């Protein structure tokens, strides 16, 4: 979605409401495609006291296997974004101001970037997920296994592997 902001820059108090959803299902992240349903985008562009401000609220559902046990886990996340818009920026580019020299704003591009940067680094089915047994592969959330290998921390087992060799 590309917004034409000429009316906002022209009229004090003018507001454009943003309310749409963006398909990001082809976003490749952490070995999969976690954004299976469209990202909800709500916000507004408003001229106010001689400036133009942009507010975006993005909400998405993240679907991926749990990092520890591999169970498909669905979780909702939200990220907000607030910037000033200007037709030209004096001096240094800034983190708080976006330049829109032609008064056209590519909202999709902003949403893609912000959502991508906000994707979770850690994704667990629960904070207390016990993971799976590295000996027999049993999901330890479903109960203890009987193979006797209870070391479930992948970093420790990697270390153990190195020491054993
Ligand atoms: Zn888990
Ligand atoms: Zn086991």
CA distance 118 to 131: 24
130 CA to centre of ligand 1 in angstroms: 7
Rounded to 5°, the CA angle 90-95-96 comes to 75
Site of tokens 């000033």: 84
Confidence of residue 21 (pLDDT cuts 50, 70, 90): very high
pLDDT digit string (tens) for 78-91?
A: 999 999 999 887 77
What residues are neighbours of ligand 2 (ion), with CB under 5 Å?
133, 135-136, 145, 147
15 CA to centre of ligand 2 in angstroms: 60
CA-nearest of 77, 64, 73, 63 to 129 is 73
57 CA to centre of ligand 2 in angstroms: 44
pLDDT digit string (tens) for 32-88?
A: 999 999 999 999 999 987 789 999 999 999 999 999 999 999 999 999 999 999 988
The sign of the dihedral angle between the CA atoms of 113, 37, 127, 72 is negative
Q: What is the pTM of this model?
A: 0.80
CA distance 84 to 24: 25
Q: What is the mean pLDDT of the chain?
A: 89
pLDDT of 18 higher than 80: yes
For residue 155, give the H/E element and its range.
helix 154-164
Task: Please report the pLDDT score of residue 134 as a whole number.
Answer: 86
Top pLDDT among 140 and 158 is at: 140
Collect all residues with Cβ–Cβ distance below 8 Å to 110 and sequence separation of at least 6: 56, 81, 98
**Beta bridge partners of residue 78, listed in sequence order:** 59
CB atoms within 10 A of CB 35: 22
137 CA to centre of ligand 2 in angstroms: 6
69 CA to centre of ligand 2 in angstroms: 13
Percentage of the chain with pLDDT > 70?
88
């Amino acid at each position: 979605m590309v917004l034409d902001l000429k009316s906002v820059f022209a009229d004090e108090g003018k507001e454009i409401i943003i309310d749409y959803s963006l398909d990001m299902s082809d976003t490749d992240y952490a070995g999969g495609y976690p954004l299976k349903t469209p990202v909800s985008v709500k916000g507004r562009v408003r001229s106010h006291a001689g400036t133009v401000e942009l507010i975006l609220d993005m909400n998405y559902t993240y679907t991926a296997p749990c990092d520890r046990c591999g169970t498909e886990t669905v979780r909702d996340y939200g990220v907000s974004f607030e910037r000033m818009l200007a037709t030209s920026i004096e001096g240094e580019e800034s983190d708080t101001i976006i330049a829109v020299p032609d008064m056209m704003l590519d909202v999709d591009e902003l949403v893609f970037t912000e959502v991508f940067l906000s994707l979770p680094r850690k994704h667990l089915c629960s904070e207390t997920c016990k993971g799976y047994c590295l000996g027999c592969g049993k999901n330890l959330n479903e109960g203890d296994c009987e193979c006797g290998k209870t070391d479930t921390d992948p970093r420790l087992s990697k270390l153990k592997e190195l020491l054993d060799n």
